[in-house]
Amino acid sequence: MRNVAIFIVILLGGILGISWSQKESWKSLFNGENLENWDKYIGPTFPGHEELGKTATTDNVFSVVTVDGYKMIRISGEVHGSLATKESFGNYHLRVVYKWGDKVTLERNGGLLYHGYGPLGTAFGTWMASVECQMMHDNPGDTFLMVDSVECSAKVKSEKGVYVYDPKAEKVRFGQRVNRRMIRKRQHAEKPLGEWNTLELYCLGQTAVHVVNGVTVMVNEDICSCDNGSIHPLTSGRLQLQSEGAELFIKEISIEPITEIPKTVL
């Protein structure tokens, strides 16, 4: 009977276009019970909301809750904060399934930070040096360079001083040395509030691709750190989820290794 069961699983995998090895390659970064494999850090409070900072703790800002019968990560958003993997990752495909909650302290702002390095608190008193894949409502997929030392390039067109990713445009350098740190997504692909969004991140070498609900909205290239004039390729690092103004639920955060970025998303 065991052999028959294995055969059925493999057969179904073939029908669905998923190989057994591909299925096994995915690893959940949330163990389904607690956040023991993550570091939690609280930064400054929001102006005008200082009272919230008096009661905020790492355990109530970042917690595990049950919603619709599923255990998931809840980020309160009451103060600035970082939920950071203890492990570093490079050359991967990451998938995050999330939705915004009803409780809003400031605005529905947050992000997935990748290639994080150095101590927590380096960026805006809260986060590690890193690249942000924006999750902010109405802006998921934007890029923001979290500290002065992080740089990248992207193909962009300029619209009234705003740089928007365009795969047909010329490549432009971004970083503090050229006074450009924000790159806007190519198009809007977010689902309405209350629905689950799927954010995917493909990182290979110095290239990162942001995909929102199946739509490629950003490609960052030549990602590096520039310290005292010395440039170093930035190809891996820790992942961080931001607490930045509103309640956020993470139903899934999974990762798999890759050796190439699929042509279908470039």
Residue 227, pLDDT above cutoff 60: yes
pLDDT digit string (tens) for 98-113? 999 999 999 999 999 9
CATH superfamily of 24-265: Exo-inulinase; domain 1 (2.60.120.560)
Confirm if 75 and 62 have CB atoms less than 8 A apart.
Answer: yes
**Alpha carbons 159 and 118: distance in angstroms, whole number:** 34
> 197-204 and 111-117 as β-strands: parallel, antiparallel, unpaired?
unpaired
pLDDT digit string (tens) for 175-212? 999 999 999 999 999 999 999 999 999 999 999 999 99
Confirm if 115 and 131 have CB atoms less than 8 A apart.
Answer: yes
**What pLDDT sits at residue 3?**
44
> 207-212 and 215-227 as β-strands: parallel, antiparallel, unpaired?
antiparallel
pLDDT band at 16 (very low <50, low <70, confident <90, very high): very low
Residue 23, pLDDT above cutoff 90: no
Buried b (16+ CB within 10 A) or exposed e, 161-185: eebbbeeeeeebebbeeeebbebbb
**What pLDDT sits at residue 229?**
83
Range with the poorest average pLDDT among 18-32, 89-103, 123-137, 178-192: 18-32
Question: Reduced to 3 states, what is the DSSP secondary structure of residue 112?
Answer: strand
pLDDT band at 161 (very low <50, low <70, confident <90, very high): confident
Residue 151: φ, ψ to 5°: -135, 160
**What pLDDT sits at residue 252?**
98
